[in-house]
Amino acid sequence: MTDARFPELTNQQVEKLKAYGTVEYYEKPTVILDFGDKHYDFFVVLKGGIKIIDPDKEKESVTIHGRHQFSGSSSILSHRTIGVCGETLDDTQVIRIKPDQLKSAIAKFSDISDLLLNAFLLREDSLKNSIQGVRLVGSEHSNETYAIRDFMDKNDILYTFIDSDKEEGLIKILEAFNLTKSDLPVLIDSQNEISIRPSIDEIGECSGVRLILDDEIYDVLVIGAGPAGLAASVYASSEGLKVLTIDSSSPGGQAGKSSKIENYLGFPTGISGRDLANNGYIQAQKFGCTISVPHKVESIKRKGGIYEIDASNTSPLKAKTVIAATGAAYRRLPLDEIEKFEGAGIYYSATSMHANMCKQSEIGIVGGGNSAGQAALFLANYAKKVYVIIRNEHLGAKMSDYLVQRIIACENIEVLTNSNVVKVDGDTYLEKVEIQRNESLVENNIMYLFTFVGAKPCTEWLNNIIDTDEKGFVHTGLNICDYALNNETEFTKRKPYTFETSLPGLFAVGDVRSGSVKRVASAVGEGSIVVSDIHKFLAHLN
């Protein structure tokens, strides 16, 4: 049976691809793909083969691409670093295609697009299980280490974590690199190059998820790569608009933190928020969208009909239209020293990384919404005991019924109603949680607390320049107040479009928008519909 990761192109498909590249011949083994390269080419084998090598396993062969098979994974579309090496066999002939030319071929030929993208996605999954990637050494209880792990995990950067609290012989390992525990966390790549306490920005740059952005004017700048932002990116770029999408941390938004979404149309067995986000991320790039993280937007202004955005890690960004898709973030619990334990016992998402951390432990989930319910059920497969802590008398007040029924049926989940966390305590990491239930105080040895409460809009970067509701969520369309409309002469000639804010050409979709339904399907819908508003606006400009 043919391995779907390594399919063969037909003769007709190979002939189509020849027009997008050059034919090269290698008499002897030659490295044509080098580990760590951000910009690498796509190869189709005409004769001979390409040996794909895991650089961390003494040049162990992952596979050999034979006649009419091809190299690459989805990272070729996004300029991420490659996790393997590629070496030709003796007497090998290939077609070499540059990434931009490959995107052109994918856009033109749907049969090639489907075959390549399916293989790329399958290869990414297998690489996660077989390729070691960079090594991160640090303490599981360090919030600095956690921030790096969280960023690499959510951005699908291949890495192996070595917990300094558990690894025997760590001192000898560190001494071999002239390091001490005070230098942690450190990153070590396959070439044994070391980064001591690297910043998130540095990791974004060296991994290729953060790009060097050109000084050009985009048709659309999407700020936020959650479901709404990714949907807008896919639809806008697929319709020929020049699109740039940025995010402060990773694709997926709050949905990316969900372990399993079961009520999203078309996925009867459910899909993880991370997989949904990753598929959207690749899909947008397939149509030519540029996506770069991390970039935190600091301010926005409009000059001569062009928006100029100041963001971290880049020169000012310019666009004819802007989509605010920055979503909402869970609020901190109003407790003393809570910041001290963030990343060291207190978390705002529940992924496989967190599941491995809290095996056979007692954990707490704060919140009564769907995100809290999904997290409780997911982590119950790993934890010894899960406490769901809610203020209401009934779990079903804000949670979908299917989640409520599963939580009730789960033997190691206990729901604490009429309850609040009133104190967190510990030395360097969370060790105890105090819960007030009705009139009683209960101390629990919870070492992992996950909070999903009180979402607030991520609108600090807008600096109160547009109309919002009393909670800071952005008004759009007919909900914009008359005073805000009167400040813009353009709105004396026309009404604002459905998802347009009180500034012409600035749109808002998803959870950041006032009145939005806080569901993935709704966010995706808004992200796709807003593109029709943008077309109207751009046509009006021209």
Looking at residue 190, what is its pLDDT? Answer: 67
Tokens representing residue 369 in the block: 């919404």
Q: Please give, one letter per residue, the 3-state secondary structure of 163-192.
A: ECCCCCCHHHHHHHCCCCHHHCCEEECCCC
Confidence of residue 169 (pLDDT cuts 50, 70, 90): low
Query: Would you call 372 helix, strand, or coil by DSSP?
Result: helix
- Across the beta sheet with 432-437, the strand order is 419-425, 432-437, 440-444
Q: Of 376 and 351, which is predicted with more confidence?
A: 376
Mean pLDDT across 286-314:
95
Structure letter (DSSP) for residue 49: -
Looking at residue 128, what is its pLDDT? Answer: 67
**Choice among 72-76, 245-249, 336-340, 476-480 with the minimum mean pLDDT:** 72-76
Mean pLDDT across 130-147:
87
Percent of the chain with pLDDT strictly greater than 90: 72
Inter-residue contact 413 to 389 (CB < 8 Å): no
Q: What value does the mean pLDDT of the chain take?
A: 92
Looking at residue 486, what is its pLDDT? Answer: 85
Whether 280 has a pLDDT exceeding 60, the answer reads yes
Structure letter (DSSP) for residue 510: G
Confidence of residue 144 (pLDDT cuts 50, 70, 90): very high
Looking at residue 516, what is its pLDDT? Answer: 93
Which run of H or of E encompasses 298?
Answer: strand 297-303
Mean pLDDT across 220-225:
98
d(CA 385, CA 359): 10
**Choice among 13-17, 246-250, 490-494 with the minimum mean pLDDT:** 490-494
Q: Where are the alpha helices (DSSP H) in 109-169?
A: 110-130, 143-154
Structure letter (DSSP) for residue 460: G
What b/e readout covers 265-288, taking b as 16+ CB neighbours within 10 angstroms? eeeeeebbbbbbbbbbbbbbbbbb
Looking at residue 139, what is its pLDDT? Answer: 92
pLDDT in tens, 194-209: 899 999 999 999 889 9
Query: Phi first, then psi: what are they for 119, rounded to 5°?
Result: -65, -40
pLDDT in tens, 338-375: 999 999 999 999 988 999 999 999 999 999 999 999 99
In order of 242, 447, 482, the CA distances from 247 in angstroms are 17, 30, 32
pLDDT in tens, 495-525: 999 999 999 999 999 999 999 998 899 999 9
d(CA 443, CA 424): 10
- Across the beta sheet with 134-138, the strand order is 159-163, 134-138, 186-188, 194-196
Inter-residue contact 252 to 277 (CB < 8 Å): yes
Tokens representing residue 2 in the block: 């043919």
List 432's β-bridge partners, or say none. Answer: 425
CATH topology of domain 134-207: Glutaredoxin (3.40.30)
Confidence of residue 78 (pLDDT cuts 50, 70, 90): confident
- Say whether 338-451 and 217-329+457-541 share the same fold: yes
The domain at 217-329+457-541 falls in which architecture? 3-Layer(bba) Sandwich (3.50)
Whether 445 has a pLDDT exceeding 90, the answer reads no
pLDDT in tens, 3-18: 889 999 999 999 999 9
Which run of H or of E encompasses 467?
Answer: none
List 163's β-bridge partners, or say none. Answer: 138
**Choice among 71-80, 340-349, 431-440 with the minimum mean pLDDT:** 71-80
The helix/strand count (H/E) of the chain reads as 14, 28
Structure letter (DSSP) for residue 219: E
The domain at 338-451 falls in which architecture? 3-Layer(bba) Sandwich (3.50)
Which class in CATH covers the domain with range 11-103?
mainly beta
**Choice among 99-113, 162-176, 353-367, 468-482 with the minimum mean pLDDT:** 162-176
d(CA 274, CA 89): 37
Residue 52: count other Cβ atoms within 10 Å of its Cβ: 19
**Domain range list for the chain:** 11-103, 134-207, 217-329+457-541, 338-451
Residue 22: count other Cβ atoms within 10 Å of its Cβ: 12
Tokens representing residue 87 in the block: 């070496």
Confidence of residue 476 (pLDDT cuts 50, 70, 90): very high
Mean pLDDT across 411-421:
95
Mean pLDDT across 102-130:
86
Looking at residue 130, what is its pLDDT? Answer: 64
Whether 1 has a pLDDT exceeding 60, the answer reads no
CA dihedral 51, 52, 56, 58 (to 10 degrees): -10
Query: Would you call 101 helix, strand, or coil by DSSP?
Result: helix
Mean pLDDT across 136-140:
92
Q: What is the pTM of this model?
A: 0.90
